Structure 1
Amino acid sequence: MNRIFLAIIFLLTGAVIAFAKDPGPSPVSVRYYGSFKKMIQENHVEGVVELDRALSAPHVYAVGIVKNAEGEITVLDGEAWLNYGRDGISKTVNQMKKGEKAALLITANVEKWQTMVVPDDMSENELFSFVFDQAKKIGLNMKAPFPFLIEGRIRKLVWDVLDGTDTDQARKGNQIFLRKLVGYREEAPVILLGFYPGELHNELDYPGELWHIHAVFKDDNNTGHVNAFSVTKGFRLLLPAR
């Protein structure tokens, strides 16, 4: 009798543990077109999807690269920012040209977000750990990609914009290095849209990066890919609501 009882307890415990490890369905579906790995290693920078088609659903958020590495794409709740590097780093437009394509595009449709406050000043690595921990706490599937927003007044941020030139010239080993214009912002309000890649590292983010993040500076209508930053206490972190 005792052995049967213990066996039942063991089976029930195992079932509970297995259930606890199952994060359940994700509250958001992430789609991606193109691949960083193919862009960097094989110079596949041609357009793979039309923006009008990929960004047509409501409450869409996206980061990406314009075809032929001509610039950066950021979309917040359906509102687009496209920065074409050939026009200079501060020439963002908010209208998509008809038929415009992306070489890489990561999208998600998020209707509701839940907000957390960043409790301390944090480096990028510390913020990554904070985002990771908060996402786990609310039950997001950490093996799958998900979007997040970070909002506040940045102390210092380094960002860049691809300019579409010499994409087949600068090589190191098997990797191609796309040319970029680099910018710096200090003491400015910013919205950061990022995608945690889950198990899709090197598909959704640059090699060596923790995630893929773009910045939107609404004060001067500008956007670009984020290279380095830190945040201060009181920043807001927004994650998809379950």
Structure 2
Amino acid sequence: MCRLALILLFGLFVAMIGSLKSTIAGETKKTGLVQYGKMHEVIGKQKHQGRVKFSDLTAKPHFYGVAALESLAGEATVFDGKVILTKVNSDGALSSETLSQKTQAALLVGAYVESWTEHSVTTTVKSDDLDSLIEQTAKKIGLNTNEPFMFVIQGDFQNVRAHVINGACPIRARMQKEDLPERKRPYEADLIKITGKLVGVFAKDSVGDITHPATSTHLHLLYKDDRSGEMRTGHVEQVTLQPGVTLMLPEEVAK
């Protein structure tokens, strides 16, 4: 009887460990969202150690995600399993990094999406109205907007304010009125007009967890650099959608 009790206790312990690992990984089975790290701990508390390898996530097809690299050493965006990494050089210029089997993210939110629904945007949409556009369109097709989900926007954009993190978050620095040292200064850009893709996650009431203050979206830009011909990515703080862009919402969460 004692031996049976020990076996049962050991089984319970193994189950608890498995549940704990699932919680740490941050996978929400209901929505398919995968999350590693939270903004308030990664950025606010500087707990920016590597939490997940990109190669592990992309071993399975159709992954989309936004991320900050280990040590906040740059930005990453994953589009259908392809990882784009962008860092800031010592001279302040951008460089596209090569993905290795060891490259990790300190903060990452994403999902496996096999298929999308496409929705044409026929009017100009400013940053203040972007959250509402995504939420209202998602509701029309039956998505639960109380749960986070990925989205993509393709086309022409104006008045894009973006940055590439370089050891410290410029948004937090501005809010805290901190002057970042030169070695941690991000790359910041105001782009009057650009064509590319926006990859993001819509997450209501997730400030400090998935999103920055005053927004329900965590948004990255993917675009081709005219000079180098390389793909670049960066975190979007502000953007205006031009008429004719296409909003893509998940049709089915990959199993």
TM-score, scaled relative to structure 1: 0.79
Q: Which has the larger radius of gyration?
A: 1
3-state secondary structure, aligned to 2:150: strand
Of 143, 146, 150, the match for 1:147 = 150
Instruction: Indicate if the aligned counterparts of 2:55 and 2:101 stay in contact, CA closer than 8 A.
Output: yes
Q: Deviations over 1:164-203 (max 9, x none)?
A: 2699xx6976x99774210232332110001001343321
Distance 1:209 1:180, change over 3 A: farther
Distance 1:171 1:235, change over 3 A: closer
Aligned alpha-carbon RMSD (Å) = 2.7
Structure 1 counterpart of 2:162: 159
Distance 1:79 1:156, change over 3 A: same
Of 100, 104, 108, the match for 1:105 = 108
3-state secondary structure, aligned to 1:122: coil
Structure 2 counterpart of 1:226: 236
Displacement after TM superposition at 1:41 (Å):
2.6
Distance 1:132 1:53, change over 3 A: same
- Unaligned ranges ≥5, structure 1: 1-24
Say if 2:249 is the partner of 1:239. yes
Of 114, 117, 120, the match for 2:117 = 114
3-state secondary structure, aligned to 1:135: helix
Of 181, 198, 213, the match for 2:204 = 198
Of 197, 212, 226, the match for 2:218 = 212
3-state secondary structure, aligned to 2:102: coil
Distance 1:54 1:199, change over 3 A: farther
Give the whole-Å Cα distance in 2 for the aligned partners of 1:212 and 1:166: 14
Instruction: Indicate if the aligned counterparts of 2:131 and 2:215 stay in contact, CA closer than 8 A.
Output: no
Give the whole-Å Cα distance in 1 for the aligned partners of 2:107 and 2:121: 30
Q: What one-letter code is carried by the residue in structure 2 that aligns with 1:127? A: L
Q: What one-letter code is carried by the residue in structure 1 that aligns with 2:192? A: E
Say if 2:51 is the partner of 1:45. no
Give the whole-Å Cα distance in 2 for the aligned partners of 1:39 and 1:111: 29
Structure 1 counterpart of 2:70: 67
3-state secondary structure, aligned to 1:97: coil
TM-score, scaled relative to structure 2: 0.75
Instruction: Indicate if the aligned counterparts of 1:41 and 1:176 stay in contact, CA closer than 8 A.
Output: no
